[in-house]
Structure 1
Amino acid sequence: MSLDQPADLVKHQTPTRDAFLGGRLTLSQPRNGFRAGLDSVLLGAAVPVGTAKLLDLGAGTGAAGLVALALGRAETALLAERDPQALALAEENVAGNGFAGRAGIVAVDVTAGAAARRAAGLIDNGHDVVIANPPFFAAGRGTLAPQAGRADARHMEVGSLDLWLRCAAACATAGGRVIVIYPAEGLAELLASLHRRFGALDVLPLAPRPGAAATRILVRAIKGSRAPLILRATRVLHGEEGNAFAPEFEAIFRGQACLDW
């Protein structure tokens, strides 16, 4: 699914400055390469209210984690990212949006082993909510982006998703939650990796238009739970025609509502 980015929802003020949530959040992003969009807003808006310690894995320039802070869903956020350019921009975004006292940044490859992860500053059992928008094209599929940062953000080797979720499970507290946004075509792999470490899997499919197949999924799960899986009714982003968003999503993208399910 292509999550459209109308100019009045994600405003390109300059080639590298974008306003999200109706202007409540302004982010510096790479002029070329991977740029956060509406997936990041949906992920940040799905963070449960009352979250004390949020971890954003593969945070990029910090969009999802900072959306959660801007919406008042999380008290603090730690942004974990390995790309140096993205880390520098994330640091700028934290300071520029007034979150210096509530957001931290850690340089780490989330697919690395436990020792490397801990040495970088990701502690075990340290976060009550972990969010992630992992790369979704397996190696050998799709067209590799020309910019290295964009390619890293969109492509991963087979088996790497399981490493992301292993990291999420290690970093989540007992009873903590993980929330992932992912293409629907990757649902089987995602559920298999989550099931080994989490319970109470709760799947929310997103479709572009009424009657269309779901093309994005949001999945949340609870560490240590044995509750069964729930498959929610599909929610639709747009109407039958045009690019206007359904009222529920229009309110989310304008910073007037959160994504609760």
Structure 2
Amino acid sequence: MSQPRHGFRAGLDSVLLGAAVASDSTALLDLGCGVGTAGLVALAHNPALAATMVDQNSDMLALARLNAEENHFAARTTVIEVDVAAKGAARLAAGLRENAYSSVIANPPFFDSAGGTLAKDGARADARHMGAESLDLWVKTAAGAAAAGGEVIFIYPVESLPPLLSAFAARFGAITILPLSPRADVPVTRVLLRAVKGSRAPLTMLSTRALHDVEGRAFTPQFDAILRGTARLVW
């Protein structure tokens, strides 16, 4: 997997996001795809899946194209350069369709740009920092792009969860929250949120899953298999 030498680099969150896509999905939209990690993981698990990858960073998209080619997924991958938070007309002009994708995924920037220190690298700052208003625009874009009955999945740090959950609750039903903790005896650090467009089903909070064994740095068998590409995230 080719990644930039400096700036934001995809990692565990991207792999988990791609592995969380429904096994019967046929059309995937990866918002803010970066180098394409999440989308490529989803493609590896599902030979019937086609992926559209969207980002505003042309350098990242060049790497996403390269990664799709090197992993033999180019024929099932479409890359679009546009700001996820752009107006609808701009997104449509760029080729992003509405009501079209059975799965929409995102690992959006998560630190509120009004607080903390922005990264010196511009691409890294864009990938990590965003306010609640921009986050709501990402969810709005996901809602418009998802097909009726389609799933929308975001991965996010737990300390920044409230505005994301609010944006989901305003647009979707059947929200499912999967809390993830580094180990069984420590607090949750990140969550996966999944919702269904057009559903009115209530919210479900699943049991917390630990990424690592109690001692040492080894991943639990479940997550080790996911990171090795031999298992999906079933939730």
- Could you tell me which amino acid in structure 2 is paired with residue 97 of structure 1? N
Where 2:116 maps in the other structure, the secondary structure is coil
**Cα distance in 2 for residues equivalent to 1:126 and 1:204:** 26
Alignment of 1:19-168 (within 5 A): 27-72=1-46, 75-168=49-142
1:136-170 Cα offsets, whole Å, 9 max, x none, are 00013233222111111000133111000000000
* Runs of at least 5 residues in structure 1 that lack an aligned partner in the other structure: 1-26
- Could you tell me which amino acid in structure 2 is paired with residue 202 of structure 1? T
- Could you tell me which amino acid in structure 1 is paired with residue 9 of structure 2? R
**Cα distance in 1 for residues equivalent to 2:63 and 2:36:** 8
- Could you tell me which amino acid in structure 1 is paired with residue 127 of structure 2? A
**Cα distance in 2 for residues equivalent to 1:237 and 1:95:** 31
Query: Judging changes above 3 Å, is the alpha-carbon distance between structure 1 residues 255 and 41 closer, same or farther for their aligned structure 2 residues?
Result: same
Report how far residue 74 of structure 1 moved: 5.5
Relative to the length of structure 1, the TM-score reads 0.88
Instruction: Report if the CA contact (8 A) 2:182-2:211 is conserved.
Output: yes
Report how far residue 240 of structure 1 moved: 2.1
Instruction: Name the residue aligned to 1:230.
Output: 204
**Cα distance in 1 for residues equivalent to 2:132 and 2:23:** 34
**Structure 1 vs Structure 2: percent identity of aligned residues?**
57
Relative to the length of structure 2, the TM-score reads 0.97
* Runs of at least 5 residues in structure 2 that lack an aligned partner in the other structure: none
- Could you tell me which amino acid in structure 1 is paired with residue 52 of structure 2? L
For the aligned residue pairs, the C-alpha RMSD in angstroms reads: 1.0
**Cα distance in 2 for residues equivalent to 1:49 and 1:141:** 38
The structure whose residues are more often helix, as a share, is 2
**Stretches of 4+ aligned residues off by more than 6 angstroms:** none
Aligned residue-pair number: 235
Instruction: Name the residue aligned to 2:186.
Output: 212
Report how far residue 84 of structure 1 moved: 1.0
- Could you tell me which amino acid in structure 2 is paired with residue 229 of structure 1? L
**Cα distance in 2 for residues equivalent to 1:191 and 1:54:** 22
Instruction: Report if the CA contact (8 A) 1:54-1:77 is conserved.
Output: yes
**Cα distance in 2 for residues equivalent to 1:85 and 1:146:** 17
Instruction: Report if the CA contact (8 A) 2:113-2:131 is conserved.
Output: yes
